[in-house]
Amino acid sequence: MGKSRTDFIDKTKEILLKRRDALRKALAGDLSMLKELEQTAGDVVDFALDSAQDELSSQLAEVESRELAQIDKALERIRGGSFGECEGCGCKIPVARLQALPYATLCIKCQRELEELGEDGVSWLQNSDEVSI
Ligand SMILES: [Zn+2]
Residues with CB under 5 A from ligand 1 (ion): 86, 88-89, 107, 110
CATH of the domain at 30: 1.20.120.910
As a whole number of angstroms, the distance between CA 91 and CA 89 comes to 6
pLDDT at 80: 96
User: With contact defined as beta carbons under 8 Å apart, do 122 and 94 qualify?
Assistant: no
Q: Which residue has the higher pLDDT, 3 or 46?
A: 3
DSSP 8-state class, residue 107 = -
Range of the domain at 91: 2-130
pLDDT value at residue 125: 43
Q: What is the pLDDT of residue 40?
A: 60
Mean pLDDT within 58-70? 87
Beta bridge partners of 92: 85
Structural domains in the chain (count): 1
Distance separating alpha carbons of residues 31 and 9, to the nearest angstrom? 32
* CA of 20 relative to ligand 1 center, distance in Å: 26
Q: How far is the CA of 88 from the centre of ligand 1 (A)?
A: 5
Please give the Cα distance from 101 to 22 (Å, whole number). 18
pLDDT of residue 59: 82
Q: Which residue type is seen at 30?
A: D
Residue 50 pLDDT level (bands cut at 50, 70, 90) = low
For residues 99 and 120, what is the distance between their CA atoms, to the nearest angstrom? 21
| Neighbour tally for 20: CB within 10 Å | 17
Spacing, Cα 3 to ligand 1 middle (Å): 22
> Is pLDDT above 90 for 35?
no
Give the range with max mean pLDDT: 2-6, 96-100, 124-128. Answer: 96-100
Alpha carbon of 61 to ligand 1 centroid (Å): 31
